[in-house]
Amino acid sequence: MRPSILDPLFAPATTLAGVGPKLGKVLDRFLGSEAQGARAIDLIFHLPTGAIDRRPSPSIAEAPIGDIATFTARVTEHRPAPAGKKAPYRILVEDESGDVTLVFFHADSRHLGLSLPVGAVRLFSGKLELWDGMRQMVHPERILDPKLAGTLPAFEPVYPLTEGIGPRVMARIVQAAAERCPEMPEWQDPAFLAKNDFPAFRQAIEALHHPADRKAAEGDTVARRRVGYDELLASQIALALVRRQQKKVAGRATSGDGGVRYRIQSALPFELTEGQRKAIADIHADMAKPERMLRLLQGDVGSGKTVVALMAMAAAAEAGRQSVLMAPTEILARQHAERLAPLAQQAGLKLALLTGREKGAGRRQVLEGLADGSIDIAVGTHALFQEGVAFRDLALAVVDEQHRFGVHQRLLLGSKGEAVDVLVMTATPIPRTLSLTWFGDMDISILSEKPAGRKPIVTRAVSSERYDEVVGAIGRAIEGGAQAYWVCPLVQESDTLDVAAAQERYEALREIFGDKVGLLHGQMPGRDKDAAMAAFVAGQTRILVSTTVIEVGVDVPNASVMVIEHAERFGLAQLHQLRGRIGRGQAASTCLLLYKGPLGPVAEARLTIMRETEDGFRIAEEDLRLRGEGEVLGTKQSGSPDWRIARPEIDGDLLVAARDDARLMIERDPHLETPRGQAVRALLYLFERDVAIRLLRAG
Ligand code: ADP
Ligand code: MG
Q: Check whether residue 578 and residue 520 sit in a common domain.
A: yes
CA of 427 to the centre of ligand 2 (A): 7
Q: Is the pLDDT of residue 342 over 80?
A: yes
Q: Check whether residue 423 and residue 506 sit in a common domain.
A: no
Looking at 241-339, which runs of residues are DSSP E strands?
A: 294-299, 322-326
Find out whether 572 and 626 touch, Cβ atoms under 8 Å. Answer: yes
CA distances from 107 to 80, 250, 385 (A): 9, 77, 71
The DSSP secondary-structure symbol of 569 reads G
Q: What phi, psi does 135 have (nearest 5°)?
A: -75, 135
Closest ligand, as measured to the CA of 308: 1
**Where do runs of H (alpha helix) occur along 491-537?**
502-513, 526-537
CA of 454 to the centre of ligand 2 (A): 16
Q: Check whether residue 564 and residue 440 sit in a common domain.
A: no
pLDDT for residue 181: 95
Closest by CA to 247, choosing from 639, 667, 659, 680, is: 667
Q: For ligand 1, is residue 305 a contact (CB within 6 Å)?
A: yes
Domain residues for 527? 457-613
Q: For ligand 1, is residue 336 a contact (CB within 6 Å)?
A: no
CATH of residue 373: 3.40.50.300
d(CA 55, CA 77): 26
CA of 205 to the centre of ligand 1 (A): 51
Q: For ligand 1, is residue 566 a contact (CB within 6 Å)?
A: no
Please say which residue of 393, 426, 447 terminates a domain.
447
Q: Is the pLDDT of residue 637 over 70?
A: no
Closest ligand, as measured to the CA of 325: 2
Closest ligand, as measured to the CA of 447: 1
Number of other residues whose CB lies within 10 A of the CB of residue 540: 11
Q: Which residue has the higher pLDDT, 220 or 346?
A: 346
pLDDT for residue 695: 62
Closest ligand, as measured to the CA of 301: 1
Q: For ligand 1, is residue 400 a contact (CB within 6 Å)?
A: no
CA of 349 to the centre of ligand 1 (A): 21
Q: Whose CA is nearest to atom 9 of ligand 1?
A: 304
Q: Is the pLDDT of residue 642 over 80?
A: no
What is the position in ligand 1's atom list of the atom closest to the CA of 276? 23
Closest ligand, as measured to the CA of 402: 2
| Average pLDDT rounded to a whole number, residues 174-190 | 95
Rounded mean pLDDT of the chain? 86
Q: Is the pLDDT of residue 13 over 90?
A: yes
Q: Check whether residue 429 and residue 461 sit in a common domain.
A: no
pLDDT for residue 437: 56
pLDDT for residue 343: 94
| Average pLDDT rounded to a whole number, residues 426-441 | 61
CA of 488 to the centre of ligand 1 (A): 26
Q: What phi, psi does 303 have (nearest 5°)?
A: -80, -10
pLDDT for residue 450: 80
How many folded domains does the chain comprise? 4
Q: For ligand 1, is residue 300 a contact (CB within 6 Å)?
A: no
Size of the chain, expressed as the number of residues it contains: 699
Q: Is the pLDDT of residue 173 over 90?
A: yes
d(CA 526, CA 331): 9
Q: Is the pLDDT of residue 498 over 50?
A: no
CA of 337 to the centre of ligand 1 (A): 15
Q: Check whether residue 469 and residue 572 sit in a common domain.
A: yes
289-293, 508-512, 628-632: which has the minimum mean pLDDT?
Answer: 628-632
Find out whether 406 and 633 touch, Cβ atoms under 8 Å. Answer: no
CA of 273 to the centre of ligand 1 (A): 10
Q: For ligand 1, is residue 426 a contact (CB within 6 Å)?
A: no
Closest by CA to 421, choosing from 294, 261, 255, is: 294
- Residues above pLDDT 70, as percent of the chain: 88
Q: Whose CA is nearest to atom 19 of ligand 1?
A: 304
CA of 328 to the centre of ligand 2 (A): 10
111-115, 134-138, 335-339, 523-527: which has the minimum mean pLDDT?
Answer: 523-527
pLDDT for residue 263: 94
pLDDT for residue 634: 33
Please say which residue of 220, 237, 268 terminates a domain.
220
Name the band, by pLDDT with cuts 50, 70 and 90, for residue 406. very low
Q: Is the pLDDT of residue 492 over 60?
A: no
Q: Check whether residue 170 and residue 41 sit in a common domain.
A: yes
CB-count exposure of residue 146 (10 Å: 0-12, 13-18, 19+):
exposed
Q: Whose CA is nearest to atom 12 of ligand 1?
A: 304
Residue 56: cis peptide before it, omega within 30 degrees of 0: no
Q: Which amino acid is at 426?
A: T
- Residues above pLDDT 90, as percent of the chain: 55
d(CA 104, CA 80): 10
Q: Which residues contact 86 (CB under 8 A, 6 or more apart)?
A: none
What is the position in ligand 1's atom list of the atom closest to the CA of 307? 6
Q: Which residues contact 118 (CB under 8 A, 6 or more apart)?
A: 75, 76, 77, 78
Whether 497 maps to a domain, the answer reads yes
pLDDT for residue 434: 56
27-41, 374-388, 492-506: which has the minimum mean pLDDT?
Answer: 492-506
CA of 451 to the centre of ligand 1 (A): 7
What is the position in ligand 1's atom list of the atom closest to the CA of 272? 23
Count of helix runs (H) and strand runs (E) in the chain: 25, 21
d(CA 625, CA 431): 11
d(CA 8, CA 480): 73
CA of 146 to the centre of ligand 1 (A): 75
Q: For ligand 1, is residue 568 a contact (CB within 6 Å)?
A: no
Q: For ligand 1, is residue 268 a contact (CB within 6 Å)?
A: no
Q: Whose CA is nearest to atom 23 of ligand 1?
A: 272
How far the first Cα of the chain sits from its last, in Å, is 17
CA of 296 to the centre of ligand 1 (A): 18
CA distances from 218 to 47, 158, 166, 225, 315 (A): 9, 10, 20, 12, 53
Find out whether 74 and 95 touch, Cβ atoms under 8 Å. Answer: yes
Q: Check whether residue 417 and residue 306 sit in a common domain.
A: yes
132-141, 178-187, 408-417, 642-651: which has the minimum mean pLDDT?
Answer: 408-417
Whether 692 maps to a domain, the answer reads no
Closest ligand, as measured to the CA of 451: 1
92-96, 259-263, 397-401, 650-654: which has the minimum mean pLDDT?
Answer: 650-654
Please say which residue of 152, 176, 203 terminates a domain.
152
pLDDT for residue 8: 95
Residues facing residue 518 across a β-bridge: 544
- Which is it for strands 351-354 and 377-380: parallel, antiparallel or unpaired? parallel
Q: Is the pLDDT of residue 627 over 60?
A: no
DSSP 3-state of 694: helix
Of 264, 268, 270, 273, the residue with max ligand 1 atoms within 8 A of its CB, to mutate for a pocket test, comes to 270
Q: Which residues contact 63 (CB under 8 A, 6 or more apart)?
A: 57, 69, 70, 71, 128, 135
d(CA 304, CA 276): 8
pLDDT, tens digit, 9 for 90 and up, residues 356-374: 888 899 999 999 999 999 9
CATH of residue 134: 2.40.50.140
Find out whether 693 and 242 touch, Cβ atoms under 8 Å. Answer: no
DSSP 3-state of 138: strand
Q: Which residue has the higher pLDDT, 576 or 145?
A: 145
Closest ligand, as measured to the CA of 400: 2
Of 555, 576, 582, the residue with max ligand 1 atoms within 8 A of its CB, to mutate for a pocket test, comes to 555
Q: Whose CA is nearest to atom 16 of ligand 1?
A: 304
pLDDT for residue 499: 40
pLDDT for residue 404: 44
Q: For ligand 1, is residue 335 a contact (CB within 6 Å)?
A: no
Of 298, 306, 339, the residue with max ligand 1 atoms within 8 A of its CB, to mutate for a pocket test, comes to 306
CA of 410 to the centre of ligand 1 (A): 25
Q: Check whether residue 321 and residue 461 sit in a common domain.
A: no
Number of other residues whose CB lies within 10 A of the CB of residue 85: 8
Q: Check whether residue 361 and residue 401 sit in a common domain.
A: yes
Q: Check whether residue 420 and residue 316 sit in a common domain.
A: yes
Q: Check whether residue 496 and residue 603 sit in a common domain.
A: yes
Q: For ligand 1, is residue 551 a contact (CB within 6 Å)?
A: no
d(CA 304, CA 522): 25
| Average pLDDT rounded to a whole number, residues 535-541 | 94
pLDDT for residue 415: 62
Find out whether 599 and 607 touch, Cβ atoms under 8 Å. Answer: yes
CA of 62 to the centre of ligand 2 (A): 65
Q: Check whether residue 425 and residue 567 sit in a common domain.
A: no
| Average pLDDT rounded to a whole number, residues 39-52 | 93
Q: Which residues contact 602 (CB under 8 A, 6 or more apart)?
A: 626, 627
| Average pLDDT rounded to a whole number, residues 322-331 | 88
Q: For ligand 1, is residue 446 a contact (CB within 6 Å)?
A: no
Of 264, 303, 310, the residue with max ligand 1 atoms within 8 A of its CB, to mutate for a pocket test, comes to 303
Whether 665 maps to a domain, the answer reads no
CA of 553 to the centre of ligand 2 (A): 4
Closest by CA to 301, choosing from 87, 450, 493, 188, is: 450
The DSSP secondary-structure symbol of 380 reads E
Q: Is the pLDDT of residue 182 over 90?
A: yes
Q: For ligand 1, is residue 369 a contact (CB within 6 Å)?
A: no
Q: Is the pLDDT of residue 693 over 80?
A: no
CA of 588 to the centre of ligand 1 (A): 16
- Which is it for strands 89-95 and 68-79: parallel, antiparallel or unpaired? antiparallel
Q: Whose CA is nearest to atom 18 of ligand 1?
A: 304
| Average pLDDT rounded to a whole number, residues 521-550 | 87
